[in-house]
Amino acid sequence: MATETPPPSNTQVPLPSTEEFAAVQESAEFGELRRSYRSFAFPLTIAFAAWYLLYVLLSNYAGDFMGTKLFGNINVALVLGLAQFLTTFLIAWWYARHAAAKLDPKAEAIKSRMEGGA
């Protein structure tokens, strides 16, 4: 049975100080990263919450509409319920693309500078 030896301690990157973290939080670059995140996440969160609330309200107060058969035994409620799952996965996919294209490069640049690699 082979045992792994830990890496030498001199390869560890020193952690930034509290003052360095505070300076980065106040930087324009970090503000832009935060704006990029918020401009994507907040509107989508509000839109999805409204979409979900609409589904719940329709289910509670528009039973006849939700029970409308579209084809066979498939009704409006089932289609809208499945659409909830679909939109959840689409938003997750869209966020992953957005993060990879817009957020991750900015975050990596900040991280590199904080770790002294820039």
Residue 118 token pair: 């820039």
Q: Could you give the CA distance from residue 12 to residue 115 in angstroms, rounded to a whole number? A: 10
Q: Is the pLDDT confidence value at 13 over 70?
A: no
Task: Answer for the pair 33, 107: CB distance below 8 angstroms, yes or no.
Answer: yes
| DSSP conformation class of 101 | I
Report how far Cα 24 is from the mean position of its chain's Cα atoms: 22
Range name among 3-7, 14-18, 73-77, 88-92 with the lowest pLDDT average: 3-7
Task: Answer for the pair 54, 77: CB distance below 8 angstroms, yes or no.
Answer: no
Looking up tokens 């035994």, which residue turns up?
73
Task: For the chain, list the strands marked E by DSSP.
Answer: 69-71, 74-75
Tens-place pLDDT, residues 80-117:
999 999 999 999 999 999 999 999 999 999 988 888 74
Residue 83 DSSP SS3: helix
| Residue 65: its H or E element | helix 63-66
Tens-place pLDDT, residues 30-67:
999 999 999 999 999 999 999 999 999 999 999 999 99
- CA distance from start to end of the chain: 41
Give the pTM: 0.74
